[in-house]
Amino acid sequence: MSKIISVSRRSDIPAFYGDWFMNRLKEGFAGYVNPFGGQKYILPLKPEDVTCFVFWSKNYTPFIEKLKIIEEMGYKFYFNYTITGLPNIFECNLVKKETAINSLKKLSTLYTPKHINWRYDPIIISDITDYNFHIKNFENIAKELEGYVERCYFSYAIQYGKVKRNFEKFENENYLKIIDPDRDLRIKLANNLADIASKHGIKMLTCCDDFLLSQKISKAHCVDGKIIEELFYKNGFKFSEKPTRKDCGCTDSADIGSYDTCPHGCIYCYANINKKVADDRYLHHDKDAAFLGYNKVESDKWVEDVKRAQSEKNILNIETKVKIKKKDSNTTLFDYA
């Protein structure tokens, strides 16, 4: 059964690992490590195995030339494009906002505005990015993107344990205060941003903050079966929601990224524990390895381990079915057709 593949919540593959991704398509599979427990998996990536790729990036410029090849191979895809316009101190290794905007415009021209979710995410309230900053900043970006996007997804920074520690370290080093806005401020700012977006033909959708839902603001589904259906499956296809956190509306998908591999250096990132580790893994990554951020020798061993475990599991399942059938031939527990 084919799957929706997320590329990726855990790293910026289009910006930094395009060659690795293309090699995965050529070989027809990718490995990934579950960040919660370390279990390793192999995911088939042949065209018939992939319902749709959902790409995530802050910079598609290095990846655009690869999209035509991916499309010609028979794959379907759409884009989550994050453009926040935050000062570089928060996102230290990003391309300029103008570069990202131009890249988004090119994507929209090559495909359609319906293929793109503009993500103004996360919203950080601080001494230098206060309410007025976001009003002006959002207006500037929305004006540039008018006609090129139809949807804007947004959320406020969520202070997970490691993100909170990063914020505290950032505040101490830069003599800045990051504010966790109260509910009233969140609602007020969100509604004002929605008014600005509407003026430019853009619909606002909130990611994981259902208390913000209103006539102006809809619920976001960053991985969205309905968008995929509208773009590629006019006769429909089966999909179900599988939230990744509270109030998440995402459709079930599998992610092939790895933590601690993105060198963007965003202080709000939950996928990087250590910036130096992420930088090192990027600089020394092996584009021929099945697992992102690991060397080929280690990766090849894991591939064999996973295949062996799956083979043993299949044999065990067959033996179990046979034993149950012999035990009670009058009771049908499995469909052998």
- pLDDT tens for each residue of 290-312: 999 999 999 999 999 999 998 88
- Read off the pLDDT band of 318 (50, 70, 90): low
Q: How far apart are CA 241 and CA 122, in angstroms?
A: 22
pTM of the complete model beyond 0.75: yes
Q: Count CB neighbours of 334 within 10 A.
A: 11
Task: State residue 245's pLDDT score.
Answer: 84
**Cα 164–Cα 169–Cα 170 angle in degrees, nearest 5:** 95
Q: pLDDT by residue (tens digit) across 257-279?
A: 999 999 999 999 989 988 899 99
Amino acid at 138: F
DSSP 49-81: GEEEEEEEES--TTTHHHHHHHHHTT--EEEEE
β-strands 50-57, 116-123 pairing: unpaired
CB of 290 closer than 8 Å to CB of 299: yes
- What per-residue confidence (pLDDT) applies to 119? 98
Band (pLDDT 50/70/90 cuts) for residue 314 is confident
Cβ partners under 8 Å of residue 133, min gap 6:
none
What whole-number distance in Å separates Cα of residue 253 and Cα of residue 94?
27
pLDDT tens for 104-150 read 999 999 999 999 999 999 999 999 999 999 999 999 999 999 999 99
